[in-house]
Amino acid sequence: MPDRTDLSIIIVTWNSEDEIENCLESVFKNTGNLEYEVIVIDNNSSDKTAQTVQEIFGKEVRNTRLIINRENKGYTAACNQGIAESTGNSILFLNPDTVFCGNPAEILLKKLYEDKLNGAVAPQLLNEDKTIQKSCRTFPRYFDMFCEMSLLSYIFPGSILLSNWKMNYFSHNEERAVEQPMAAALMVKKEVLNETGFFDEDFYMFFNDVDLCKRITGKGYRIIFYPEAKIIHGKGVSIYKDRVRMIKAWNKDCLSYFRKHNYSFMLYNLLLISLTITGIFRILFYKLFR
């Protein structure tokens, strides 16, 4: 552990009025004796998210900051704003649709500093009914994308071959080194971020965490999934508020990832065509059955 326990909790909000109060209150009530700060970056919400955060922060004696963007800069750019403003030795990226169980921040911080090669650590995520939310991934391959789009990964969830990317075969109930945990709750050493660089803003909202984890492991650091720390996560709350735009953003960011890390002219263009076709069907399905 560092001589001075110092943590920056960064939360990006967009129309998160219904979630942010529970999130912040759980942080303030369940973060023990850590010396920490909370930085909220609001991406031009049209509801009362910013006002709600201001009211909550006004009641706190802790170090809190609210950054209000006058345009929606996207999740990635907003996270980088928070990193630039942070003073902590470590940073916990946290979604507004999360709620702390017990004292996960202190548990994660202790695990993070057990070994100098630990670059990042992630908790076990739980659904609202307290069932385990499978949140770990491997770095995606073209074959993994084919298995997802053809639904083979859903038909054979226990197959390491056909369900490799989303690790449906992993119980998520034991500690292990992983390639990429979901960034709904991800703690990273600040020195590691300084070494790898912050989030790549070529990714608007998705695959930014995949890219960051790729760079962290590429520097020789480990990313630890640590289920002793638990956080409830309302999966996909923000995404479903603007589903059509999010489908398009996911496809674009997916292509950006493969172009950056695993480019193959033939496979990339096949992926482009496949995402375009499946994207049309996903949007139509959403509009018909929402």
For residue 289, what pLDDT band results from cuts at 50, 70 and 90?
A: confident
Q: Are strands 176-177 and 222-233 parallel, antiparallel or unpaired?
A: antiparallel
Q: Are 23 and 54 in contact (CB under 8 A)?
A: no
CATH number, domain containing residue 200: 3.90.550.10
* Together in a domain, 62 and 161: no
Q: pLDDT tens-digit profile of 228-270?
A: 999 999 875 555 667 888 899 999 999 999 999 999 999 999 9
Residue 7 has pLDDT above 90, yes or no: yes
* Together in a domain, 125 and 155: no
* Together in a domain, 106 and 195: yes
* Together in a domain, 95 and 145: no
CA–CA separation, 54 and 208 (whole Å): 28
What is the chain's mean pLDDT, rounded? 92
* Together in a domain, 94 and 164: no
Q: Residue 261 is part of which domain span? A: 238-290
CA–CA separation, 241 and 46 (whole Å): 12
Q: pLDDT tens-digit profile of 168-226?
A: 889 999 999 999 999 999 999 999 999 999 999 999 989 999 999 999 999 999 999 99
Sign of CA dihedral 67, 92, 163, 218: positive
* Together in a domain, 230 and 243: no
Q: pLDDT tens-digit profile of 62-93?
A: 789 999 999 999 999 999 999 999 999 999 99
* Together in a domain, 41 and 130: yes
Q: What is the pLDDT of residue 256?
A: 97
CA–CA separation, 12 and 5 (whole Å): 23
